[in-house]
Every structure is written in structure tokens, then in C-alpha cells.
Amino acid sequence: MIKKLNHCRLCVSKKYKPLFSKNEYDICKCLNCGFIFLDFKPGKSFFTDYYSEEFFNDIGVKHAYSNYENESKTLKKSFLLRIDVLSKYKATGSLLDVGCATGTFLECAQSSWKTSGIDISNYAIQVARKKGLETFVGEIKNSPYIKRKFDVVTLWDTIEHVSNPKETLSEINKIMPLGGILGITTGDVGSLFSRFSGNCWHLYNIPQHLSFFDKNSIAKLMKETGFEIKEILYLPLNLTLDYVLFRFITFYKLVIFQPIYKLLKNHNLLNLELNINLYDIMFVVAEKKGTV
Ligand SMILES: [Zn+2]
């Protein structure tokens, strides 16, 4: 039985309507603020159970990654583009990566900033620690980071995973100085590609994704949590053919193609690197302007 949220994830209004259902979950639109969200209230253990080792190294057809660490070399190229943008605003100081996974971004960022990372996944943090990265498993409010201030805070594809985005950004606001820089990536449900894909949009990844932002709702969230948007960019992603195929097969449950995928993989034919931009992932750069 799916536990419903029963209110808008952003403005808490009880007036909302279902748009469509997927895997028995309802994707809804708020009639007050227009926000699109999953009507699902995850229990306490949902996050720790979900982001297990299997999430990062899937052997079946359930998750996005067949081997997250293998993909990280390619991911680094996308991260370097984002570092170039963030450096324009704040080239040195301290940086916290929220939802840091196995620390791939931290590895790229540590030459510019003094880095720390936090993630809900115990498995991912163990991997990050083996790389010598300073990290914490759990939530910001329970971490030693609440006593510190970070000049730059990043959330790569993380805000759509948290149960209360407003609460998360308010907590982040508290650990940043005025003028601190926030970098966020998340899907843009208002993008042309999302609208063209309809219910089949690849970022309707249920039940991992709980929120579906567009430019309006992300702007509202930023404003209410003390941030001012500096720019919104749509940068390309470097991905391997392996990732794209695996993701395609798992997302659309095309089990029939699995033997072909395995055959190509076993012959090392999936290492090809792709540079993809569907213009449906927003990179939002914001500055802390006030406290909340
Ligand atoms: Zn709302």
C-alpha cells in the first residue's frame, strides 16, 4: 500500500489533481502553485533501503546504473563543465556536495575547493571514504556540517529525490554565508523534450523522483529559501553507450533486449562515449541573499 502525501510537496495546498499513474503511484499537479510531484510519502527506511549497493551496481533491470564507478570517468567530463561555471562566482573556499554518491564530483572539485560530501547511502559513502574523501552518511541536520559554513553547495540530481525540497534548501541556507553559491541540477518538466515525451519522459523515474521542477517552480523554491537565481543553463552530459542502453532497457522494462545488451557488453562494444543534450536538465546557479 503506497502511503500518500496528501498535499503539494512545495506549497502544502491540499488542492491538487492526478495527471497520470505509473507503477501504481500518482503523479499530480498542484492547483494552487502548479507544481508537479509524486503523491507519495516515503517512510523512514525508504531512502536507506533504496540507495543500497544494488542501486549503484544493478545486476537486474531495476535501477539506472550497472556499474556506477565505471561510469564515473565519463561523468567527470560533465562535472568539469559545471566546475567552470561555479568558479566564475566562487573560485576558492569550502564546498559541500549534497547527495555526493561515491564522490566522483568531489574528486574533480578538490583542486579548486576544500571539499566535503554527504549522502544517505551507506554503501556510496564507504566507497567515497576509500578514496580519502571527507564525507558523512545521513542527513545535514544530523551531521557535523551544521556547525560550519560552506562557500559553495552543490546538489547534482538530488533535489528531486528528497521528500521535502523546501526543508532541505532551508537547512542548506543555514550552513552558507551570505553571497554563498548554490549549484543544482534537476530535470525540467517544462522542457520541450519532456512535453514531447509525455508520460514516457525518462525522468519520470518512479518512486526515486518525488518532485518534477520547471523554471517557475525552481524559482519559487529558491526565493522562499533565501536564494536568488543567477543563471539557468542546459549543459551537455557525457555518458557511455553502456549507460544509455542499460538505462533505456531498465526504464522501459525492455527485458527482451537484455541478452543483446549483455552480448555487446561482453565484447566490450559499449564503451563508446556520447555527448548528449536533450535540453531537459536544468543547471541552476543561485546566490544566498538572505536567511530563512
Ligand atoms: Zn503547490
Structural domain boundaries, residue 154: 45-288
Instruction: Report how far ligand 1's centroid is from the alpha carbon of 185 (Å).
Output: 21
Span 211-217, average pLDDT: 98
Domain-located, residue 14 = no
Q: DSSP per residue over 165-197, as a string?
A: HHHHHHHHHHTS-TT-EEEEEEE-TTSHHHHHH
Instruction: Report how far ligand 1's centroid is from the alpha carbon of 288 (Å).
Output: 23
Instruction: Find the angle CA(55)-CA(42)-CA(246) to the nearest 5 degrees.
Output: 25
Instruction: Report how far ligand 1's centroid is from the alpha carbon of 8 (Å).
Output: 5
Q: Long-range pairs for 52-55 at CB < 8 Å and ≥24 separation? A: 52/121, 52/123, 53/123, 55/121, 55/123
Span 236-258, average pLDDT: 82
Domain-located, residue 37 = no
Instruction: Report how far ligand 1's centroid is from the alpha carbon of 25 (Å).
Output: 18
pLDDT score of 176 more than 80: yes
Domain-located, residue 87 = yes
Domain-located, residue 23 = no
Instruction: Report how far ligand 1's centroid is from the alpha carbon of 32 (Å).
Output: 5
Domain-located, residue 167 = yes
Roughly how many angstroms between the first and final C-alpha of the chain, as a whole number?
Answer: 36
Instruction: Report how far ligand 1's centroid is from the alpha carbon of 265 (Å).
Output: 44
> Could you read off the pLDDT of 53-107 as tens digits, one per residue?
777 765 554 555 556 666 777 889 899 999 999 999 999 999 999 999 999 999 9
Instruction: Report how far ligand 1's centroid is from the alpha carbon of 204 (Å).
Output: 19
Q: What's the whole-number average pLDDT of the chain?
A: 91
Residue 225 pLDDT level (bands cut at 50, 70, 90): very high
Instruction: Report how far ligand 1's centroid is from the alpha carbon of 207 (Å).
Output: 19
| Domain CATH number, residue 103 | 3.40.50.150
Domain-located, residue 28 = no
Span 123-128, average pLDDT: 93
Instruction: Report how far ligand 1's centroid is from the alpha carbon of 224 (Å).
Output: 13
Total domains in the chain come to 1
Instruction: Report how far ligand 1's centroid is from the alpha carbon of 9 (Å).
Output: 7
Instruction: Report how far ligand 1's centroid is from the alpha carbon of 116 (Å).
Output: 33
Domain-located, residue 39 = no
Span 23-49, average pLDDT: 93
Residue 251 pLDDT level (bands cut at 50, 70, 90): confident
Instruction: Report how far ligand 1's centroid is from the alpha carbon of 247 (Å).
Output: 31
Instruction: Report how far ligand 1's centroid is from the alpha carbon of 292 (Å).
Output: 19
Q: DSSP per residue over 202-249, as a string?
A: TT--TTT--EE--HHHHHHHHHHTTEEEEEEE---EEEEHHHHHHHHH
| Of the candidate ranges 16-20, 40-44, 226-230, the one whose mean pLDDT is the lowest | 40-44
Span 121-126, average pLDDT: 93
Instruction: Report how far ligand 1's centroid is from the alpha carbon of 122 (Å).
Output: 32
Question: Letter for the amino acid at 40?
Answer: F
Q: So what's the pLDDT on residue 68?
A: 67
Domain-located, residue 283 = yes
Q: So what's the pLDDT on residue 256?
A: 80
pLDDT score of 246 more than 60: yes
